[in-house]
Structure 1
Amino acid sequence: MLYNTLLIPSDGTAASEAVIRFICSIQKTILAKVYVVYVVEVPRSLPLNECPPTLLSIAREVLEKAENIALEYQAEIEAQIIYARTAEDSILSTAENLNCDIIAIAQSNQKLKLFANAALNIYQRAKCSVWLLNVK
């Protein structure tokens, strides 16, 4: 099967970084475009365009780390910050908008967990393949 576009949602954990490392290590083999996204969940009390500076700072740090990992593997990624109310809906819509073939999600210690246990819901609702990568 040919994979053209992969989406990696990252929450900045070691498990997410391990998934980024894995995908970057195989990117040249599978010849896929790789997107790494960090979802900033903006509180409902604020407009979406008024992200708290601390959340934005965290997002930038996470994506900078992803870009550094890509450099280590001489891989190419596109890193994006997404502002949303809920992470899972924004991950699904981003995957659909980018015509992703795969969403690669980190699992930690065999628990389906990412962004408040959204991984299972993403797996069930995604229109593309979902890789749930267990990282111990």
Structure 2
Amino acid sequence: MDEKKIKYLRKSEELLKIKPEDIKTEEEAKKIIEELRDVINYHDYLYFVVNEPIITDYQYDQLFHLLEKLEERFPQFITPTSPTQRVASDITKEFPEVKHLSPMLSLENSYNEEDLREFDKRVREILNLDTVEYAV
């Protein structure tokens, strides 16, 4: 792993230790928000462009959610170029574009049993069914 990747991996690990409620001042929030944006942008590049991620999807989602929470608490620091305000654009051209017969809908990430139970509940309510079978 090259020095740049090691640097960003270490910075990611530092940021993953932060809880939104630990940030008390605007100055501290601004610094952490800027660091999160930089780290997330780098991870986006590694994931979408060069297809060589160095953190797990779960870790990425944690960083992204921390940024969302801090921008929610400190909206004065939201910018149009924040990862929370845009969709990735430099996606690899390795795969052809595909037209979907049904629209692709965004899915929330689920990492625990509670998330999956909530998902199942929403699906059953939408379909107005008591039970739904899933295939994985």
> TM-score category by the smaller chain?
under 0.3
TM-score norm. by structure 1 comes to 0.27
Q: Higher strand fraction: Structure 1 or Structure 2? A: 1
Q: Higher helix fraction: Structure 1 or Structure 2? A: 2
TM-score norm. by structure 2 comes to 0.27
Greater Rg by CA? 2
